[in-house]
Chains A and B, each alone.
Chain A
Amino acid sequence: MIQSVRRASAILRELGSGHRLGVTELAERLGLAKATVYGLVRSLEADALVERDLETGKYRLGPALLQLGNAFLDGHELRARSLLWADSLAGRTSEAVRVGVPSGLNVLIVHHVFRPDNSVQILEVGAAIPWHASALGKAIAASRDDETLGMLLDGPLAKLTGRTLVDPRLLRRALVAIRRTGIAVEDQEAVIGEAEISAAIFDHDGHPVGAIGVAGPVERLLPQGSASGDVVGAVKEAARGLTRDLGGVRRFAGHR
């Protein structure tokens, strides 16, 4: 590992908190000498990875990061392929659509289409949701290999609401059912009042590379406690279509 790269990365993450920080504050937070931090921020500033606020002299994240973030999203094959499918799924179901990919113990939202009703919504691209509290995460986990699944179930499994499943045995049982039906449902396990219905997307080896799902108010998505056949059908169709576009194959149920 190259120490200065790690230190520069630590500076970016500190500024990623949204705080504007001066060299002294950064040096204190990172336990480094001020001169060291000064050299690092000046180098980052030269590439617009951080910028200095002219009034306060404090540093914040720089515009080059937005370009890098966009490049990350643009270069993401699943996201690129999901744009049309996500729009069409949102149109068919009149609900918000999210596409997520596995990222350690989280599912990273790489695409989000707002519920098409002109209401104010917050863009969740970039959000990292604990896998076990998310229909996207559970849909992906249900088709992972035993080793990865074991790592996921080892956690930590945080309780985000009173309904979050945090018992590995219960989760494993839920995943077996998801694998059988091809559909994962989340009922207020991440946010009270919110639900999500999703299905996994597979690559050519049959590995799950992500998931697509509709997310929205629980009373709309799970009236009387369960998902409507129409929505389930639309989600499955989008996931199958995306799998096909990626040249992938869904591992058939009961494969393992």
Chain B
Amino acid sequence: MPGERVEHKDRLLDGSFVVRWTREAARAIHDQRDYLTQLDAAIGDADHGLNMDRGFAAAFGKVEGDGDRPPGELLETVGTTLVLSVGGAAGPLYGSALRQMGRGIDAATFDAEGLLVALRAALEEIQRLGAAQLGDKTMVDALSPAIEAFERGLRSGRGLAAAAGKARAAAEEGMRATIPMQARKGRASYLGQRSVGHQDPGATSTALLLGALERASEDEA
């Protein structure tokens, strides 16, 4: 297509990609902090936006300017910071997931296929900790379809940024699909049918993180 940049299929990602992702995530979460809190107030403790904002700001502080560090190590740093600084379920879930991503990347660079493997490891970790399945009204409802879309995007050969765009769109669709669901995991599940009609805050922050991944994939600056 004219005007469209065609990426090299084997584009390599390094530590600076992880730093960009963390920066974009911190920005997106900060911008949407009140929205996340508002969603959480309907079915939770109204602390998701504040917690995530604090956690990602701290995490970016830990890796800013460290683009020459190994990417796996950076992901582990971000994950550990989230575990320590985000309260509630989100800190342990996102933090452990990012740490798991980092553990699977031991070279100085990785490619889009490596990112796919790491994202799958993140989903597996979240499901191991939370025992959540699709349809339970959790972050899994955004992350799982996003990973499938990412894989389809890569297989279509359009490159990382396009695949990350597909992943973001699928995550947003999955996020909206949580609205009519009844929560079967987390504190929202105590509310039973009262959780119906509200968008899940965790699925929403997951969609924001995938939007950040898309921007990190586009932006080489």
Do A and B pair up? The answer is: yes
A interface with B by C-beta (< 8 Å): 16-19, 109, 119-122, 124, 127-129, 159-162, 164, 188, 191-194, 217
Partner of B87, one of A16, A124, A161, A193: A193
**Measured between alpha carbons, how far is A159 from B87 in the docked complex, in Å?**
22
Decide if A192 touches B45 in the complex (CB within 8 Å).
no
Query: Which residue of chain A has the shortest Cβ distance to B125 in the bound complex?
Result: A162
Decide if A193 touches B89 in the complex (CB within 8 Å).
yes
Decide if B130 touches A124 in the complex (CB within 8 Å).
no
Could you give, for residues 23-60 of chain B, a 1 whenever the CB lies within 8 Å of some chain A CB and a 0 otherwise?
Answer: 00000000000000000010111110000000000000
**Measured between alpha carbons, how far is A16 from B191 in the docked complex, in Å?**
11
Consensus secondary structure, chain A interface? loop
**Measured between alpha carbons, how far is A122 from B194 in the docked complex, in Å?**
13
Decide if A128 touches B192 in the complex (CB within 8 Å).
yes
Q: Does B186 contact A (CB under 8 A)?
A: yes
Partner of B91, one of A129, A160, A193: A193
Residues of chain B lying within 8 A (CB to CB) of residue A120? 41, 45-47
Q: Does B155 contact A (CB under 8 A)?
A: no
**Measured between alpha carbons, how far is A194 from B89 in the docked complex, in Å?**
8
Q: Which of A16, A128, A162, A192 has the most CB of B within 10 A?
A: A192
Interface residues on B, range: 20 to 34
Given A122-B45, A192-B92, the answer on whether A160 and B131 have CB atoms closer than 8 Å is: yes
Decide if A18 touches B193 in the complex (CB within 8 Å).
yes
Partner of A127, one of B88, B185, B190, B193: B190
Decide if A161 touches B129 in the complex (CB within 8 Å).
yes
Q: Does B146 contact A (CB under 8 A)?
A: no
B151 CB to closest chain A CB, in angstroms? 25
Which chain B residues (109-148) contact chain A, with CB distance < 8 Å?
128-131
Partner of B196, one of A17, A191, A193: A17
Partner of B187, one of A16, A128, A159, A194: A194
Decide if B128 touches A162 in the complex (CB within 8 Å).
yes
**Measured between alpha carbons, how far is A87 from B186 in the docked complex, in Å?**
26
Decide if A161 touches B185 in the complex (CB within 8 Å).
yes
Q: Does B157 contact A (CB under 8 A)?
A: no
Residues of chain B lying within 8 A (CB to CB) of residue A129? 190
Could you give, for residues 71-85 of chain B, a 1 whenever the CB lies within 8 Å of some chain A CB and a 0 otherwise?
Answer: 000000000000000
Partner of A17, one of B47, B91, B187, B193: B193
Decide if B190 touches A192 in the complex (CB within 8 Å).
no
Decide if B193 touches A16 in the complex (CB within 8 Å).
yes
Besides A17-B193, A191-B89, A192-B129, 19 more A-B contacts (Cβ < 8 Å) are A19-B196, A119-B47, A120-B45, A122-B43, A122-B46, A122-B187, A128-B190, A129-B190, A159-B131, A161-B131, A161-B185, A162-B129, A164-B131, A192-B89, A192-B93, A192-B130, A193-B87, A193-B89, A193-B90
**Measured between alpha carbons, how far is A43 from B46 in the docked complex, in Å?**
39
Residues of chain A lying within 8 A (CB to CB) of residue B186? 191-192
Decide if A18 touches B197 in the complex (CB within 8 Å).
yes
